[in-house]
Amino acid sequence: MSALELEKTISTQSDRLATINQQIQRLQQQQLGTRLQRGMQLAQELEQLSAEREELVEQLRQSNQRIMFNWK
């Protein structure tokens, strides 16, 4: 994978991470004022987004390691 491809991958992953963080923040705010059933649905969505965020953070870490390795 070229450095340019890695940069594009990192940019895409960073954008997705920012979107997920915004969604998580929105869901956390909504969760505070909803009924139990809706709160449970939001909790599930929040859990899924949190897992996706963790995966993206790991992918970004690996991409950054590849860039550092390629530049050495």
41: left (phi over 0), alpha (psi -120 to 50) or beta: alpha
d(CA 51, CA 35): 24
The pLDDT value recorded for residue 38 is: 74
Domain assignment of residue 29, given as a range: 3-71
**Threshold 0.75, pTM exceeds:** no
| Chain segment 13-66, per-residue pLDDT in tens | 999 999 999 999 988 887 776 567 777 888 899 999 999 999 999 999 999 998
CA 11 to chain centre: 12
**Closest to 10 in 3D by CA, of 67, 51, 55:** 67
Number of domains in the chain: 1
d(CA 2, CA 53): 25
